[in-house]
Amino acid sequence: MSSTLPVRHVLLAVAVVAVWGTNFVVIKLALAQLPPLLLATLRFSFAAVPAVFFLKRPAVPWRNLAAYGVLIGAGQFGLLFIAMNGHISPGLAALVIQTQVFFTIGMAMRSAGERVQPVQWAALLLSAVGLVTIATHTDGSTTPLGLAIVLVAAFCWASGNMASRRAGRVDMLAYVVWASLFSVPPLLVLSLAIEGPARVATSLAHAEAVAWGAVLWQAVGNTLFGFAAWGWLLARYPAATITPMALLVPVFGMASSSWWLGEPLPGWKLTAAALVLGGLALNLLWPRLRAAWVSRPRA
């Protein structure tokens, strides 16, 4: 398995992370017309149908698909949309949600009985300082509650990652599409219970083209294109080559939010981003750096 990407595959990876990063702006635009839980319901409904009729169900237990669907649908995106509905800015949401890396690695290490290495503690400390920086600068666009909700959403994402890991090597696009069937029922029930049938009906009746375009962008762009392309790359190149490129997601998220929505980027926000991304990069890249150091030629 080659670790060198040709230019066209680098561009494909960048296109995926660009779609994932700019999606936070798209979410914000959709939330202006649709309540968060209804928006999440529509996202996963369009992700599942009609694709589920054309993709073979992965050979994994139904309970695994259900776990992934509920954790990612109601857990990650349901909570993320609630937080972005007035509790955290899109740029910071794109940054904070990436803490799922630490949750995922922590769960994987606990499952394998591994100990946390000093460099991983250092990486966690860097990102924690970044999160504290955000927490101490909360304002009208970002609140402590919003920060906390996104952290819980990141934990749900990590838990979903563990569920997909237990599924083994499967067609990730088909896996996500079929799991989306299990995302819809809890999101719909929660939407009707919390947002109310009247608001759901009114929102659907008055949603404009921008809102429906945002739903399709998330379902087709993020889910179908994003997961298919990312899974295709991971099947052909080492994870250590592809995964670090996901660090560009919050870069695209913060840049697009600043450009399109006018989200300010003061010094404290850029410092927090540098700390969080620095911790994430250290955690993702240190195995490669260590391997390169060990295998270096000795004089």
What span, in angstroms and rounded, lies between the C-alpha atoms of 258 and 197? 35
Per-residue pLDDT tens digits for 242-294: 777 777 888 899 999 999 989 888 888 889 888 888 887 787 677 666 665 55
Three-point CA angle 277, 279, 281, nearest 5° = 65
| Cα–Cα dist 150/279, whole Å | 18
State residue 116's pLDDT score.
67
Backbone angles phi and psi of 277, in degrees to 5:
-65, -35
Is the pLDDT assigned to residue 41 strictly greater than 90?
A: yes
The domain segmentation of the chain, as residue ranges, is 7-121+139-263
Contact partners, residue 97, CB within 8 Å, separation at least 6: 76, 80, 150, 153, 154, 157
Confidence (pLDDT) at 45:
96
Other CB atoms within a 10 A radius of the CB of residue 24 amount to: 28
> Residue 292: its pLDDT value, please?
58
Lowest-pLDDT choice from 19-23, 207-211, 246-250: 246-250
Q: Is the model's pLDDT at 30 over the cut of 80?
A: yes
Q: Given its phi and psi angles, is residue 262 left (phi above 0), alpha (psi -120 to 50 degrees) or beta?
A: left
Cα–Cα distance measured from residue 90 to residue 77, given in angstroms and rounded to the nearest whole number: 13
Closest to 26 (Cα-Cα) out of 90, 87, 89: 90
The residue among 153, 200, 158 whose CA lies nearest residue 41 is 200
Helix (H) or strand (E) holding 180: helix 172-190
Q: Tell me: the pLDDT tens digits for 77-128?
A: 999 999 999 999 999 999 899 888 778 778 877 777 767 677 777 877 888 8
Q: Give the model's pLDDT for residue 202.
A: 97
Per-residue model confidence as pLDDT tens digits over 133-190: 887 776 667 888 999 999 999 999 889 988 888 888 888 899 999 999 999 999 999 9
The pLDDT value given to residue 299: 54
The answer to whether 189 and 73 have CB atoms below 8 angstroms apart is no
